[in-house]
Homo-oligomer: A and B are copies of this chain.
Amino acid sequence: MTSPLLEQLVEAFRVLPGVGQKSAQRMAYHVLERERAGGRRLADALAAAVEKIGHCARCRDFSEDEVCATCASAARDVHQLCVVETPADRLAIEQATGYRGLYYVLQGRLSPLDGIGPGELGLDRLGARLGEGEVSEMIIATNPTVEGEATAHYLGQLARQHGVRPSRLAHGVPLGGELEYVDRGTLSHAFGTRSEMT
């Protein structure tokens, strides 16, 4: 390339997930040829986000405020608390469901081998919150992976210790899916937990 700055830009784009050398080049050329104003906006938005976005003191989701808008909202039901692994999981639930309760974002899952224990996930703070007595149901929405299940198990015990009712998302055949292509574990689970037609 003719420009050292351009080379640095291509290299910098590669921190983004799924962006290799070729995509990074395409992005750099696209911005320089057609989107200088957009590139400027992206640079500013990135700098501001990296600088100012921290974690909400209540739910640990990303927020530039001490307490995020959801936690501060008077319109949400404080009796329900949905626990998720990541901000992306929280967003998916918020967009897909009509849930009006609050969230708690672990920012990870229990993984002793990686040195991630209850402390790293803020479970002490979650316990203290359950102890406040406002929450009556804790909806555990960790991922259905081995580590997610272990985390769910731990969370369930934590809830019961504080007299809070724990619940789990339903597992089964996805809507619109074809039985032929559903994995065995899911199919076996769905078969075992079948319900009577009404």
Chain A positions near chain B (C-beta within 8 angstroms)? 1-6, 8-9, 11-13, 15-18, 23, 25-33, 35-36, 38-50, 52-53, 56, 59, 61-64, 68-70, 86-88, 91, 107
Contacts and interface: CB of A to CB of B under 8 A. Distances in A.
A105 to B, nearest CB: 9
Contact of A43 (B17, B25, B30, B43): B43
B52 A5 contact: yes
A44 to B, nearest CB: 8
B42 A6 contact: no
A2 B70 contact: yes
A162 to B, nearest CB: 25
18 contacts: A3-B53, A3-B63, A5-B64, A6-B53, A8-B45, A9-B46, A9-B49, A12-B38, A15-B39, A25-B88, A25-B91, A29-B88, A39-B49, A39-B50, A43-B47, A43-B50, A44-B47, A46-B46
Which residue, of A16, A40, A62, A63, has the highest number of chain B Cβ atoms within 10 A? A16
Given A46-B31, A49-B32, A61 B2 contact: yes
Contact of A27 (B17, B39, B70): B17
Contact of A29 (B1, B30, B48, B87): B87
Nearest to A28: B49
Given A13-B42, A38-B12, A62 B2 contact: yes
Given A31-B49, A40-B47, 19 more contacts: A3-B62, A3-B63, A5-B48, A5-B64, A6-B49, A6-B53, A12-B42, A15-B31, A16-B31, A25-B91, A26-B88, A29-B88, A32-B87, A33-B86, A39-B50, A40-B46, A43-B50, A46-B46, A47-B47
A73 B3 CA distance: 13
